[in-house]
Amino acid sequence: MADNRSHADGARVLADLNTLRGFGAYKTGVHKPTFSQPHMRSVEWLARQLPEAALTATIDGIGNVLGTSSKPGPKLLAGSHLESQNHAGWLDGPLGVVYALEAAQIINADPNANGAVEVAAWSDEEGHFGSFLGSRSYVGAVTEADIDAARDASGRTMRQALRDVGLAGRARAKAERGRHVGYLEAHIEQGRALESGGLCIGVVTSIVGIWQYRITFSGEQNHAGTTRMADRRDAGLALARFCVAIDERLPALSSPRSVWTTGRITLDPGAPSIIPGRAEMLFQMRDDDAAVIARLEDLLQGMAAEVNAQGRCSVAIERIRTGAPAMMDARFQDAIEAASVQFAGGKSVRMPSAAGHDAQVLATIMPAGMMFVPSIGGISHHWTENTADADIVTGAQVYVEACRRLLAG
Amino acid sequence: MADNRSHADGARVLADLNTLRGFGAYKTGVHKPTFSQPHMRSVEWLARQLPEAALTATIDGIGNVLGTSSKPGPKLLAGSHLESQNHAGWLDGPLGVVYALEAAQIINADPNANGAVEVAAWSDEEGHFGSFLGSRSYVGAVTEADIDAARDASGRTMRQALRDVGLAGRARAKAERGRHVGYLEAHIEQGRALESGGLCIGVVTSIVGIWQYRITFSGEQNHAGTTRMADRRDAGLALARFCVAIDERLPALSSPRSVWTTGRITLDPGAPSIIPGRAEMLFQMRDDDAAVIARLEDLLQGMAAEVNAQGRCSVAIERIRTGAPAMMDARFQDAIEAASVQFAGGKSVRMPSAAGHDAQVLATIMPAGMMFVPSIGGISHHWTENTADADIVTGAQVYVEACRRLLAG
């Protein structure tokens, strides 16, 4: 059977991704923090492209870029984000935005295609100022007080950052309930499952929740020379012991998908000649099953109770972020899988996402789906992050076809 | 036998210490970093007092305060430092300066006393910019290049700091060889030995050396969600394991006086959602026996080799400071002990100093001695540091008498 419909233009997809890589280039990756000049150049570039896909461009008051169609029929919302982690990869975010733009360029101009693809680039998915503030603003889950409180690692307020890039006076866009058949996001896998299985497409079944904790150890600050070893209450050593105990004891109660990370450690006062009287670690756990996390959290609290019972140092565990695992819509999973049969020789696998994505926020108000392309060596959040050009092009073809299928109803 | 000589004026000593505590007061302690306004007010206050002790005041080009006598006869150099650690105690430094000033006020004005006490307050003993830069400059062990390289924790150069307080253009004072019979420094003990033994005076026999190391762990920076536990090369976890191994394995090879401390830990990049690819710890060891440290350093290198052989993360140990233990002069020890019999009921003990002091630098060019007074609870390098008023006064009486004995020849 002849297929006379237009497919994704692989060369155009690669060219667009390389244009975005040019803003804030760092080695082979990018350095594009939210509201930095390279991020805003990316935002403005996207806004200039949208009319070519028959979309009206808006940049809202929190930095979301939205392309709206006046074409009759069903609308599919599609996108990802444009900013990056510090000194990180070129595809984390832009891949999903460029795929969405490609789908809009092909489908919106095609009189035989049903409905239209509307494009979104969500602001600050990488969390320089908060947690999914762009997409959460769109679904109505961000208050003005949340924005007042948002700051980056340097202490700059989000309000100031918005003023600095001229966005402060604009209204924040809100989702029009019922407008979209759903939301589709593509992303690099950021893991090794596709690569090690010789696969092209990941069909995401769920997005894990992220639970985050501040674990604080209190001992006694004292002189590093005159305080005998036996007299010490070293908060830093208590923290190190706790990290090792986590590594030894959590595996027994975790699921195969559970991961945990200590990303930051601070010793106070942090001087070479002073025994730390206080030490703090930022600890994170992820799973798509809240019951598993509840079990691990109980274990952590039990371990803390043991430390406190010994009495040399005390420890307190404070949960500062509570995860919300999100299920991906079955119809979206089926559409991606069928498109993979057509354009990727069926080399797809259903898998959970261990990273958080804006799709989990959109999933709170509409059906949502995600598809992954392979990451070389599983590396991400680092400037060496990459995906083979051939995999990027295959992913674009699968993505455009999945959009067609979702709009076909 | 009647004793008609003047003794230390306890009320004046306490008043002077409280005046210095008023500059940069923080809770019951002080915050007086080198070349801060509170430090410079302390320096200027001392320079104003010196003429009352028949001394000519000089503030040299690195911030040392020196009081010089024109009285004939032997000269004893006496002092300590005026700046503090951040948010630290009121006696660490000022006690020794005020005792020296008190001794100069009594002895230099006494026609029956032999010789004179010359007062010194050494700049930056607490190491905000370097290691004993003030006293090392005086003994001729600091080059212009050393000063060029010196920076504080915020990255401000010492050159800039000297310009900011108007010291940059002044010459640095150099010791006149043979001028002094030696150097005497009083200090709080910063430990619990005196308090727990019901003693008043510590007669210091030696000052431990400080060896310092930068220990760097290299793993693989990656995404905290998508990287499975089994695939991780977490540099932060490798560091925590090393800290625990140090705690378990060093005691077998250490001396009863050995101490070691991890004062600072940095995970890179230090974000909650990124597995640290690099981690660094500042590690310090102290002992008055270099052979013990050599043994411990061998052990550390062996432990690092074990980590490297496992291959998950690599570790490198770099020595960034090499200790130089200093012996205190026997005649100085005898003089302090004899003065303790007279003014402290003989409640003294000979002991090593586990903290570094300017006396170890002065000991490289002249006989040197140190005496300690008790620290309540052994606490120091913290704003709660304190010594009972009665112990401060007893210490002053012992100190002035020790000066007399050292000048009597």
Nearest-CA distance B347 → chain A (Å)? 20
Q: Residue A89 CB: number of other CB atoms within 10 A?
A: 28
Say how far apart CA A315 and CA A405 lie, in whole Å.
Answer: 54
Q: Which residues of B touch A127 (CB under 8 A)?
A: 273
Q: Which residues of A touch B87 (CB under 8 A)?
A: 269
Distances (CA, A) of B60 to B75, B119, B120, B166, B180: 20, 14, 11, 11, 19
Q: Which residues of B touch A274 (CB under 8 A)?
A: 85, 261, 263, 381
Q: Which residues of B touch A214 (CB under 8 A)?
A: none
Say how far apart CA B60 and CA B52 lie, in whole Å.
Answer: 20
Judge contact between B69 and B101, C-beta under 8 A: no
Judge contact between B400 and B107, C-beta under 8 A: yes
A296 Cβ under 8 Å from any chain B Cβ: no
**Which of B20, B10, B156, B143 lies closest to B90, judged by CA?**
B20
Q: Which residues of B touch A265 (CB under 8 A)?
A: 236, 265-267
B276 Cβ under 8 Å from any chain A Cβ: yes
Task: Write out residues 60-89 of A within 8 Å (CB-CB) of B.
Answer: 85-87
Per-residue pLDDT at A226: 86
B131 Cβ under 8 Å from any chain A Cβ: no
* Pick among 3.20.20.140, 3.40.50.300, 3.30.70.360, 1.20.1290.10: CATH of A209-321: 3.30.70.360
Q: Which of A225, A234, A263 sits opposite B273 (nearest CB)?
A: A263
Say how far apart CA B314 and CA B295 lie, in whole Å.
Answer: 22
Task: Write out residues 332-361 of A within 8 Å (CB-CB) of B.
Answer: 353-356
Estimate the crossing angle of helix B37-49 against helix B94-107, to 10 degrees.
10
Q: Which of B226, B258, B262 sits opposite A236 (nearest CB)?
A: B262
Inter-chain touch B274–A286, beta carbons under 8 Å: no
Nearest-CA distance B381 → chain A (Å)? 6
For chain A, what is the HEC assignment?
CCCCCCCCCHHHHHHHHHHHHCCCEECCEECCCCCCHHHHHHHHHHHHHHHHHCCEEEECCCCCEEEECCCCCCEEEEEEECCCCCCECCCCCHHHHHHHHHHHHHHCCCCCCCCEEEEEEECCCCCCCCCCHHHHHHCCCCCHHHHHHCECCCCCEHHHHHHHCCCCCCCCCCCCCCCEEEEEEEEECCCCHHHHHCCCEEEEEEECEEEEEEEEEECCCEECCCCCHHHCCCHHHHHHHHHHHHHHHHHHHCCCCCEEEEEEEEEECCCCCEECCEEEEEEEEEECCHHHHHHHHHHHHHHHHHHHHHCCCEEEEEEEECCCCEECCHHHHHHHHHHHHHHCCCCEEEEEECCCCHHHHHCCCCCEEEEEECCHHHCCCCCCCCCCHHHHHHHHHHHHHHHHHHHHC
Q: Which of B208, B224, B382 sits opposite A221 (nearest CB)?
A: B382
Task: Write out residues 145-204 of A within 8 Å (CB-CB) of B.
Answer: 189-192
Any idea where the domains of chain B sit in the sequence? 10-207+326-408, 209-321
Residue position matching structure tokens 């990656």: B222
Nearest-CA distance A285 → chain B (Å)? 8
What does the pLDDT profile of chain B (409 residues) look like in tens digits? 345 578 999 999 999 999 999 999 999 999 999 999 999 999 999 999 999 999 999 999 999 999 999 999 999 999 999 999 999 999 999 999 999 999 999 999 998 899 999 999 999 999 999 989 999 999 999 999 999 999 998 999 999 999 999 999 899 999 999 999 999 999 999 999 999 999 999 999 999 999 999 999 999 998 899 898 999 999 999 999 999 999 999 999 999 989 999 999 999 999 998 999 999 999 999 998 999 999 999 999 999 999 999 999 999 999 999 988 999 999 999 999 999 999 999 999 999 999 999 999 999 999 999 999 999 999 988 999 999 999 999 999 999 999 999 999 7
A219 Cβ under 8 Å from any chain B Cβ: no
Inter-chain touch B225–A286, beta carbons under 8 Å: yes
Nearest-CA distance B343 → chain A (Å)? 26
Say how far apart CA B141 and CA B130 lie, in whole Å.
Answer: 13
Say how far apart CA B234 and CA B239 lie, in whole Å.
Answer: 9
B127 Cβ under 8 Å from any chain A Cβ: yes
Judge contact between B192 and B387, C-beta under 8 A: no
* Pick among 3.20.20.70, 3.40.50.620, 3.90.1150.10, 3.40.630.10: CATH of B10-207+326-408: 3.40.630.10
Nearest-CA distance B86 → chain A (Å)? 9
Nearest-CA distance B329 → chain A (Å)? 21
pTM over 0.95: no
Inter-chain touch A236–B227, beta carbons under 8 Å: no
Nearest-CA residue of chain B relative to A262? B272
A63: left (phi over 0), alpha (psi -120 to 50) or beta: left
Percent share of chain B, pLDDT over 70: 99
Inter-chain touch B355–A226, beta carbons under 8 Å: yes
Nearest-CA distance A381 → chain B (Å)? 6
* CATH number corresponding to A10-208+325-408: 3.40.630.10
Inter-chain touch B225–A270, beta carbons under 8 Å: no
**Which of A287, A353, A352, A367 lies closest to A322, judged by CA?**
A287
Residues A188-201: tens digit of each pLDDT: 999 999 999 999 99
Per-residue pLDDT at B2: 40
Say how far apart CA A223 and CA A218 lie, in whole Å.
Answer: 16
Q: Which of B244, B272, B354 sits opposite A240 (nearest CB)?
A: B244
Nearest-CA distance B265 → chain A (Å)? 6
SS3 of B366, please?
Answer: coil
A367 Cβ under 8 Å from any chain B Cβ: no
Q: Which of B239, B262, B354 sits opposite A225 (nearest CB)?
A: B354
Inter-chain touch B224–A259, beta carbons under 8 Å: yes
A vs B, Cβ pairs < 8 A, gives: 207
**Residue to test with chain A: of B220, B258, B273, most A Cβ within 10 A:** B273
Q: Which residues of A touch B354 (CB under 8 A)?
A: 223, 225-226
Nearest-CA distance B137 → chain A (Å)? 22
User: What ranges make up the beta strands (E) of B189-292?
Assistant: 201-207, 209-218, 222-223, 259-268, 274-275, 278-287
Q: What is the mean pLDDT of each run of 10 residues along chain A (409 residues)?
A: 72 98 98 98 98 98 98 97 96 98 96 95 95 96 95 94 95 96 97 95 96 97 91 97 98 96 97 94 95 97 97 96 91 98 97 94 97 95 95 98 94
Beta partners for B317?
B215
Instruction: Decide whether A10-208+325-408 matches A209-321 in CATH topology.
Output: no
Residues B98-131: tens digit of each pLDDT: 999 999 999 999 988 999 999 999 999 999 999 8
